[in-house]
Amino acid sequence: MFDFSIVSSWIHGLLTGFMPEGLAIFLECVVIGVCIMLMYAVLAIVLIYMERKVCAFFQCRLGPNRVGKYGLMQVFADVFKMLIKEIITLKNSDRLLYNLAPYMVILASILSFSCLPINKGMEIIDFNIGVFFLMAASSIGVVGILLAGWSSNNKFTLIGAMRSGAQIISYELSVGLSILTMVVLTGTMSFSEIVEGQADGWNIFKGHIPALIAFIVYLIAGNAETNRGPFDLPEAESELTAGYHTEYSGMHFGFFYLAEYLNLFIVSGVAATVFLGGWMPFHVSGLDGFNAIMDFIPGFVWFFAKAFFVVFLLMWIKWTFPRLRIDQILKLEWKFLVPISMFNLLLMVLIVVFGLHF
């Protein structure tokens, strides 16, 4: 498996050869930031197109098929339309908080996105409490949502924001407990070490039944965290028009739209990293020839393949189940998922203590 840290070390050495180290580090940070933003935008375009095609497949439709071959240019047309739309300023809104909210949502999304280990040596934010940092960074988004709903001075946006806040804060518990279950199994909170610990087998296979339960709970709770169906009550069109971002237009609305799809990828990327081996290839014990072939596939290909597999599962869930009521959403979390997650965590602790895992 190729280690990209060799390339980054070579570039750093090249830059420090003719400029001060501080300036070299600054330039590297700028370049990495630009790369993150480009990848963020490209992934958003891919996910929007994928969502439309998957939705059409489940509803026996064709999806976008007019603008460009197979409708590939439809998303670019929508992006251009959003860029030239006027950003409307509301008369009785709280100007500062109204304008700040979209940036807080997008900041939380980009910080969380930067935690994903795409390949060996391509960890942008990686330290010994990476899981804790990811949970903290992703929690900033709910503040932006609450600010958007309250500052718009609209009862529909306020109701949507309150629903979203209650939902996200509630389901963070199940997400955290599911990831904590795998932290107990791996013994580390560093994402790179979690991936490297799966060289001899992915966690979903090594952790027996508790790992599978944690994966299922994580998928359900992760779907609710991103406000996607059947947990999309904060944006219920029939009741609240567009929920907490009803009063936003132009790229301010675009930021919420981007963050929703990238949060979907972040949830899927974390699932791929923690449960499905991240950039580690699929190995079968005893089949050395097969394992050697799998090792030829680059790590980032494995990561994106696994992440998009989970994305497809989450889209499948969205376009299969009907929207839940707010009482059903909270009942599912507090009466079912939290007790199951806590019992599952205890079960994983016992498995690790007695050495029953693979």
Read off the tokens for 54.
């998957």
- Provide the pLDDT confidence category of residue 90 given band limits of 50, 70 and 90: confident
Local confidence band at 348 (pLDDT 50, 70, 90 cut-offs): very high
The total number of residues shown for the chain amounts to 358
Per-residue pLDDT, 238: 62
Distances (CA, A) of 295 to 301, 308, 324: 11, 20, 43
Instruction: Report the share of the chain in percent with pLDDT over 90.
Output: 34
Cα dihedral: 297, 303, 307, 310 (round 10): 60
Structure letter (DSSP) for residue 90:
P
Does the pLDDT of residue 235 top 80, yes or no? Answer: no
Alpha-carbon separation of residue 129 from 115, 181, 202 (angstroms): 11, 15, 21
Q: Is 284 exposed, middle or buried (0-12, 13-18, 19+ CB in 10 A)?
A: exposed
In 3D space, the residue among 227, 88, 79 whose CA is nearest the CA of residue 152 turns out to be 88
- The three-point CA angle 282-288-289 to 5° equals 90
Band (pLDDT 50/70/90 cuts) for residue 303 is: very high
Q: Give the C-alpha separation, 6 to 268, whole Å.
A: 28
Count how many Cα atoms sit within 13 Å of the Cα of residue 326 in the half-sphere of its side chain. 15
Among 112-126, 211-225, 326-340, the minimum mean pLDDT is found in 112-126
Question: Tell me, what's the pLDDT at 236?
Answer: 65
At 336, the pLDDT band (50, 70, 90 cuts) reads very high
